A and B are shown apart, each in its own frame.
Chain A
Amino acid sequence: MARDLLMASQTRDETRTGSHFALLAYVAYLLPLLGLISALSVLLLAGRIGERVARLSVGFSLAIFVVALGLFSQQVFLGQGQLATLGISLFTIHFDALTALMALAVSAISLVVHLYSVRYMREDPAHTRFFVLLDGINAMIMLMVLAGDLLTLLLAWHSMGVILYFLLNHDTRREAAKRYAFWTLITHRIGDLPLMAAAALLYSSYGTLSIPVLFEAIAADPERAGALGLPVSETVGLLILLAAFAKSAQFPFHTWLPYTMEGPTPVSALMHAGIVNAGGFLINRFAPVFALTDSVLQIALLVGLTTTLMGSVMMLMQSDIKRSLGYSTMGQMGYMVMECGLGAFSLAIFHLIAHGIFKATLFLDSGSLIGRARKDSNIPEGEIYQFMVERRTPRPPLSWIIFAGITIAVPLAIVVSAHQMIDEGFLSHQGAMILLLFGWITGAQTLFFVYKIGGDRPFRLLGYVVLSFALVILGYVLAGHTIDTLLYPDPAFREALYDAASLPAPLFTVLMLVLVATIAGAWLLVFRSAARREPLTRRYRNLYLSLYAWMSREFYVADLHGRLASALLARSRRLNALLRWV
């Protein structure tokens, strides 16, 4: 029986490659290949041309970017996925819209990081190694994005973690660099395991490693039970999620990410723009599997939401720029996973690209913070200045209740109507509601900012802000919708994803009511305390102190991990001594 299936899938594989033969997918081989060639030539030529290898490496990344751009534009016209093989079951390439988009984004960021490193990494003691590894990791990201079979995916998935380890450990003389790079390595290794298990399970159940073939097979026969009688799609979905969680720093596998700052700045930029978001890509890659599940995506929602909240709270508490950016990334990755958990898969891709550019810029510019602090040092203005130069007059009386009302109502209206305008069906999904909540909060925060700075004519300023907020939201919804139709052109499939992510209706209604009430209430509280100039932290001082102590220690997660590790080490040492193993 199993043999028959295997044979069947193999023949299907052959016909598929035969019929879908296309040049495009073969050109895509250039993406990882050019990276590897670049790494190799940097390595070989470094002795001869010295630091000019950096320019060589930039040249190759430019070529990769151009190829990626060309492939992307072709793909937009073609609109169909293609498969390229070398005749062996390894190193097949599956090229579709998702791949094209990711390859374009990654190659663009990598090009900027390369250009940046030419001067930034000048005269570094390990200059050559840096560029070799940088090119290497780019090749691996490309390979992961392009992978058409599970083995290639696994290989790329695994090598990314390993190369990252060496990049983070760039300063080999620092003890701390080794220690924290190891945190990364071990977490990524943990993340390899579920992916490996998923590959094994899929192969044992469907007898093929080719990703598109597998998806077809699963779609054709979703109810099949795998090894140990586990339902295949649910189990694979869960395993994929676990792998994504480790790579994308989801709670409780997040500790490695904020502590990756031992690497040079460009590595951080590339990592936060092109490596941590691999989880989001993986989940999207397996979207056909998730579409068939009904209780897995909820886990992504829960974990993502937890990570989001933890990440942003800890980001707010960091006193150093890089780790604060690290926690911010953690939160953003949580949001990305949460979007997947809501069924908004394509939005997660949009998020990871926008966030990648945003975060890479912040990292590359992180040194300018001192310059900014010198310009604006956070020190209150002196008495003389206030009455001689500033001559500020008290703002006109403003009712905080009216303002709070506007703050709460207007953004909600804008966000809802923007979505209604662009994509009518969107609001009927449960997931959309949660995303709307975030949009609403963001809008309210913007208006609260206006309330705080006041100014002479707050309502005029308010008008400007509301207008620009509306424009920005409209643009954003439009962009999201475009990506949605690009990646998942089939509306039925999009529906399937949303359905897979849905919660029982009564539960959801109650949840929404509670959330809306909490958020609106919280805003009223914030406005009231701002109006009365009585910070909430003073009112609930004891609670606040405890909360601070708890959060400032990063929820003790790293401590727990450390405890676990030292216990393990102590046990194994005792075992060693007991058994007299050298």
Chain B
Amino acid sequence: MKRLAAAEIGTRWTLYDLIDQLHGERIGATLNEWLIKGCLDFLDEGQSAWRMPGRRQGLFQSWCQIARRNRRWRLRGLDLGPTLERVEQPEAAIDLVMTRLAIPERLWMDYFAVELSKLHGWAGFVRWRAQARDYYWQERNPADLVDFIAIRLILSLPLIEEAERRHRRDFLYPDWVRCMSERPHECLLRRELHSGAILPDYAHRVEVALDGGDTKGIETLCLDYEREKTAREAASRALRLRELCELAGIPRAELATQRSGALRQMIEAVHGLRAREGFLWMQALERTYIRHLLDRLAAPRETPAEALARTGTAAPGIAGSKVQALFCIDVRSERLRRQLEGLGHYETFGVAGFFGVPVNFIELGKGHESARCPAIVTPRNVVLEMPHEHAPHGPSLFHLATEVVHDLKCTALAPYITVEAVGLLFGFDMVGKTLAPTLYHRWRKRLDNGRPPTRLMIDKLSEEDARDLIASLHDELVVRALDRQLGIKREAVTTGMIQELREIALGRAAAPSQLARRFDLDSATETVFITRLRLEYRLTPDQARLQLEQLARIGFRIERQALLVRNTLTTIGLAEDFARTILVVGHGSRSQNNPYESALDCGACGGDKGLVNARLFAAMANRREVRERLAGQGIRIPEDTWFIPALHDTTTDEIQLHDLDQLPPGRLTQLTRIQEDLAAAGRLCARERCAALGETGIDSPEAAARRVKRNALDWTQVRPEWGLSGNASFIIGHRDLTRAVDLAGRAFLHSYDHRRDASGASLEAILSGPLIVAQWINLEHYFSVVDNAVFGSGSKVYHNVVGRFGVMTGNVSDLRTGLPAQTLRQGERPYHQPMRLITVIEAPLPFVQGVLSRVFKVRELVENGWIRLLVIDRAEGAAHLFEQGTWMAQPWTPRPENGRSAAVEPARRARKRQVPVETPS
């Protein structure tokens, strides 16, 4: 039995942890609850109508302001007032509390770490915010971990003091150290009693002894108790061995013949293994997967060209109608790519879903910038979405009504009559969404106006163009102001008059204006009008300058566009042999009532849908100027090649082509066929998906397509799709390596051709970008599935959306991190098998080693065992796995194309010979 060690105070347990454990208090829980309350109030992003005041001063200051007025603590006889009066800054507060608790300074950092780990979700969110650039809420309401710890410590102080009063003991650091060294037996018994682990027959005796406080008696009782407990533990360990033997089929008699020393060793070994068991199983899983993967990759299969030759349809015209498609590396693309290629004449590539175009996007209807790129990239360019026409797209009446009802709900006295008057109308939603989600959704959609068609502002404006643009916007304002303020219509004034008024407002010309003369305005009226223009319509020199600055941020220069397009194309090895149609397929998902919906979108696009980046990339690659520059660098994109952006809906496997209005008319004829192909491939994927989801009653691809569509629209659906669950490998290589291999939607596929990458720069980029992101995703799934209650977010049925940004479980809880149980588990068993990301690079080993030595971050991940790295060299016919510091050659021989007999491998093979090759430098 383990005794409490004084060294654990402050490094493993906080002071109040000890009070809770040894005196049966619940200070930790109370503290969590109070701190969460503070976080909720402060971090709220618009859920509450009545917000916490003074948040702009930062977490600590605004919390103090409220805390000083909070009587809650007084109710418990606690007083925070004096403490709060003495500190201005969070650092001072931390210092004050830690000194008051008499914790030696060398332990402080450890103590803070323990404190932070108590609510790792909230602490993690605060920490993320603190370093997030351009996060609006952080800029507006700043918070950081120092504030967080300071509040936690300040709150803990009176609670500890209260416990001191109640138990008539001192609970400061030195007191605990003394207590553990002087009265170890009492400490042990107390912990046993209050943790509930005490042997039931001892409980009463222990309680009485502890109440009595007789040191001698406690010691005797403790020794007695320890002996008993050890004996019982030993018995249960022995039982475990016996059970194992029974499972393994070893007769009990054989066990009994062992010497007791050997038995003891076995018992201890079995017990000791429990801590390492999980790791063993994980390695076994990985090894099985790797073996299986290598077999699949080695197995011969038909290339599309061969398939065409075999079926005899290889007509010469087919080659010209080839379609290429760029997909995200996402595991869900794998299915679609395979099915699409299976239809013939499609060639697909995998690349990070932002297509190498990081951007700050300003969406129509939102109006603020959001970064559409992987979290490791900081976008420098801004792109603005513009509607085709500037007709005021007013909200529909239905929308307005919803807004009014929402507004009424958020008041103190109006919700009641509102509910009586319109409450029954909510019955439509309730019944419709439950009974016929697809139908109801279609009907509801008709009530909304929908989005107008848009274009993206991609190109950088020259300064002259920018000035022109601003001037014409200003003129528009002047025209409206004339109409509204003076009642003068456009037809009564000339362009010259308008421009003059604008110049006067901007201080570049002087009154009186032509207009004033023409309409006989006195100078007072004119002055009022000009002032109005300046104040209300914001037509001022300062404003104009600001607008010019802002405009300068929009768009990409042509050179940069060419660079981005070139990088993407060379990385995936698409530098020649372009098809006439190249689809750029981003992905996104659709689900209802799902707080985790963004986990299903594209991680490479900032957790949003990938369409914007696809549109950007296609638009850039379609530009004549860009192509000219690319041709200068050896990438010749034929004139009749068109890039078409598309969105792959990963819930329903439907693909929607976009920006078709920009295609030359002649190309439109081809589209129908492509769209039909895409739909067919999507239906085949849907069938696979339904099987994986365990949907029953699906007999045809059409039925599957209908079912997945329902999943996307059903508000009762807690698992609209599996998302990235099941992800296991990341394959960097030519599509030839994986073509026609059914990877079951478990592999990230990044196209790469090492023969085109002599310097290794492309591989370096892939390793330091997409691989890192994929590894995050892999670990997110890994940890969420191994301990769903702590690192994952538990069951969705208890989820409670908080502050419009996160999820709690139930009434009050830590902010949930990771993924919910429904995403990772199927019934009792995990659907996602916990494995480290198995990364396969198709390239010569020395080349990979060379690149790896240059990418520090990835090398660390590989060497410290967070990533399993497997290097395949098809030319050499060799595979090497990095294991425990060395490269182990794996038996792997890609069969010749016609060696069909070897395709059916027995699943279990004899133990493989593994040869260490060389250690990486």
Interface residues of B in 412-440 (CB under 8 A from A): 412-424, 426-427, 429-431, 433-435
B450 to chain A, nearest CB (A): 13
Chain B residues 461-476 with CB under 8 Å of chain A are: 470, 473, 476
Tell me how many residues of B have a C-beta within 8 Å of chain A.
123
Residues A316 and B797 in contact in the complex (CB < 8 Å), given A308-B416, A373-B804: no
Which chain A residue shows the least CB distance to B796?
A: A367
What's the least CB distance linking A333 to chain B, in Å?
11
Of the stretches A94-102, A210-218, A496-504, A543-551, the one at the interface is A543-551
Which of B484, B715, B717, B810 is close to A364, meaning CB atoms less than 8 Å apart? B715
CB <8 Å contact, A358 and B423? yes
Chain A residues in 8 Å Cβ range of B37: 552
Give every chain A residue within 8 A of B822 (Cβ-Cβ): 122-123
Instruction: Known contacts A320-B47, A389-B386, A560-B75; decide if A384 and B554 are in contact (CB<8 Å).
Output: yes
Which of the residues A388, A560, A577 comes within 8 Å of B384, measured between beta carbons? A388
Contact B592 A368 (CB under 8 A): yes
A21 to B362, CA, bound (A): 72
Residue on B with the closest CB to A265?
A: B797
Binds B, one of A134-142, A192-200, A220-228, A465-473: A465-473
User: Does A85 make an interface contact (CB < 8 A)?
Assistant: no
Q: How far is the CA of A582 from the CA of B205 in the complex (A)?
A: 10
Q: How far apart are the CA atoms of A391 and B539 in the complex, in Å?
A: 12
Given the known A-B contacts A119-B716, A123-B825, A318-B47, are A365 and B593 also in contact in the complex, defined by CB atoms under 8 Å? yes
Binds A, one of B108-116, B349-357, B402-410, B502-510: B402-410
CB nearest neighbor in A for B551: A384
Q: Indicate whether A491 reaches chain B with its CB closer than 8 angstroms.
A: no
Contact B49 A364 (CB under 8 A): no
Residues on the B chain within 8 Å of A11, using CB: none
Distance of A375 Cα from B366 Cα, bound (Å)? 8
A119-B718, A361-B430, A394-B537 are known contacts. Are A370 and B404 too (CB-CB below 8 A)? no
Question: Which stretch (B63-71, B665-673, B749-757, B758-766) binds chain A?
Answer: B63-71
Say whether B50 contacts A316, CB under 8 Å.
yes
Comparing B38-46, B95-103, B834-842, B855-863, the segment that makes contact with chain A is B38-46
Contact status of A262 and B384, CB under 8 A, knowing A373-B804, A381-B367, A385-B368: no
Which residue of chain A has its CB nearest to the CB of B427? A357
A532 CA to B551 CA, complexed, in Å: 32
User: In the complex the two chains form, is B364's CB within 8 Å of A389's CB?
Assistant: yes
User: Is the CB of A56 closer than 8 A to any CB of chain B?
Assistant: no
- Asked if A360 is at the interface (CB within 8 A of a chain B CB), the reply is yes
Question: Which of B369, B382, B403, B426 is the one whose CB lies under 8 Å from A358?
Answer: B426
A19 within 8 A of B: no
Stretch of A73-81, A170-178, A505-513 with 4 or more beta carbons under 8 angstroms from chain B: A170-178
Q: How far is the CA of A106 from the CA of B223 in the complex (A)?
A: 61
Given known contacts A119-B714, A120-B797, A468-B401, A369 and B71 CB-to-CB distance under 8 angstroms = no
Beta-carbon contacts under 8 Å, A529-565 to B: 537, 541, 544-546, 548-553, 556, 559-560, 563
Cα distance, A393 to B483, chains bound together (Å): 12
Interface flag for A374 (CB, 8 Å): yes
Which residues of chain B are within 8 angstroms of A486 by Cβ–Cβ distance? none
Stretch at the interface among B184-192, B594-602, B732-740, B877-885: B594-602
Q: Does A4 lie at the interface of the complex (its beta carbon under 8 Å from any beta carbon of B)?
A: no
Cβ contacts under 8 Å, A265 to chain B: 797-799
In the complex, are the beta carbons of A445 and B407 less than 8 A apart?
yes
Cα of A173 to Cα of B434 in the assembled complex, Å: 30
- Contact indicator B53/A537 (Cβ below 8 Å): yes
* Distance, CA A365 to CA B440, complexed state (A): 15
A88 interface contact, C-beta 8 A: no
A115 vs B211: C-alpha distance in the bound complex, in angstroms? 55
B800 at the binding interface (Cβ < 8 Å): yes
| A322: B residues at CB distance < 8 A | 800-801, 811
Chain B residues in 8 Å Cβ range of A439: 417
Is A449 at the interface (CB under 8 A from chain B)?
A: yes
Task: Known A377-B368, A480-B420; judge A384-B52 contact (CB<8 A).
Answer: no
CB contact between B53 and one of A177, A259, A476, A548 (< 8 Å): that residue:
A548
- Say yes or no: B47 contacts A545, CB within 8 Å: no
Q: Which residues of A contact B128 (CB under 8 A)?
A: none
Give CA–CA (A374, B795) in the complex, Å: 22
Contact in complex: A386, B414 (CB < 8 Å): no
Tell me, yes or no, whether B48 is within 8 Å of chain A by CB. yes
Chain B proximity of A324: nearest CB distance (Å)? 7
Known: A332-B415, A550-B71. A371 touches B594 (CB 8 A): yes
A323 interface residue (CB < 8 Å to B): yes
Closest to A450 in B: B404
Q: Does A14 contact B (CB under 8 A)?
A: no
In the assembled complex, the Cα of A394 lies from the Cα of B421 at a distance in Å of 34
Contact of A319 among B41, B204, B481 (CB under 8 A): B41
Would you call B660 an interface residue if the criterion is a C-beta within 8 Å of the partner chain's C-beta atoms?
no
Q: Mark A559-578, 1 if CB is under 8 A from B, else 0.
A: 11001000000000000010
Q: Which residues of A contact B799 (CB under 8 A)?
A: 265, 367
If over half of A's interface residues share one DSSP class (helix, strand or loop), that class is named, otherwise mixed; here it is helix
Name which of B404, B413, B424, B822 has the most chain A CB atoms within 10 A of its CB.
B413
**Assuming A319-B48, A384-B551, A391-B476, is B368 touching A379 (CB within 8 A)?**
yes
Residue of A nearest to B401 (CB): A468
Interface contact B69-A382, CB-CB below 8 Å: no
Return the contact of B810 from the options A177, A551, A582 (Cβ within 8 A): A177
Residues of A contacting B386 in the complex (Cβ-Cβ under 8 angstroms): 388-389
Cβ of A331: which chain B residues have Cβ within 8 Å of it? 415-416
Query: Complex Cα distance A376/B580, Å?
Result: 39
Asked if B58 is an interface residue, CB under 8 A from chain A, the answer is no
Residues A382 and B800 in contact, CB atoms below 8 Å apart? no
Q: Which of B423, B796, B828 contacts A354 (CB 8 A)?
A: B423
**Bound Cα distance from A556 to B719, whole angstroms:** 40
Q: Give the Cβ gap from A357 to chain B, nearest Cβ, in Å.
A: 5
Query: Bound complex: CA of A544 vs CA of B53, how far in Å?
Result: 8
Q: Which of B66, B367, B805 contacts A385 (CB 8 A)?
A: B367
Q: Is B387 interfacial (CB-CB < 8 Å)? A: yes
CB distance from B140 to the nearest CB of A (A): 9
Report the separation of the CA atoms of residues A456 and B394 in the bound assembly, to the nearest whole angstrom. 11
Q: Is B76's beta carbon under 8 Å from chain A?
A: yes
User: Please, which residues of chain B bring their CB within 8 A of the CB of A545?
Assistant: 53-54, 65-66, 69
User: Once the chains bind, are B362 and A382 in contact (CB under 8 Å)?
Assistant: yes
Q: How far is the CA of A118 from the CA of B717 in the complex (A)?
A: 9
Task: Please state if B597 and A371 are interface contacts (CB–CB under 8 Å).
Answer: yes
Which chain A residue lies CB-closest to B46? A378
Within 8 A of A (CB), among B60-84: 65-67, 69-72, 75-76
List A contacts of B2 (CB < 8 A). none
Chain B residues 383-403 with CB under 8 Å of chain A are 384-387, 390, 392, 397, 401, 403
Is there a chain A Cβ closer than 8 Å to B808's Cβ?
Answer: yes
A328 at the interface (CB under 8 A from B): yes
* Pairwise interchain contact B598-A374, C-beta atoms closer than 8 A: yes
Q: Is A112 an interface residue (CB 8 A)?
A: yes
Find the A residue at minimum CB distance from B416: A335
* A313 on interface, CB distance cutoff 8 Å: yes
- Max count, chain B CB within 10 A of own CB: residue among A115, A472, A480: A472
Contacts of B596 in A (CB 8 A): 370
Closest 3 pairs between A and B when the two form their complex, measured CB to CB: A381-B367, A354-B423, A358-B423
6 contacts between A and B (CB under 8 A): A171-B795, A316-B50, A370-B598, A371-B597, A389-B386, A389-B387
Other than the given A120-B718, A265-B799, A373-B46, 13 more pairs (CB < 8 A) read: A316-B412, A321-B47, A323-B811, A324-B48, A365-B593, A367-B595, A367-B801, A371-B594, A386-B367, A394-B537, A445-B408, A449-B407, A456-B392
B interface with A by C-beta (< 8 Å): 29, 37, 40-41, 43-50, 52-54, 65-67, 69-72, 75-76, 136-137, 204, 211, 362, 364, 366-369, 382, 384-387, 390, 392, 397, 401, 403-404, 407-424, 426-427, 429-431, 433-435, 470, 473, 476-477, 480-481, 484, 536-537, 546-547, 550-551, 553-554, 592-598, 714-719, 789, 795-805, 807-813, 822, 825-828
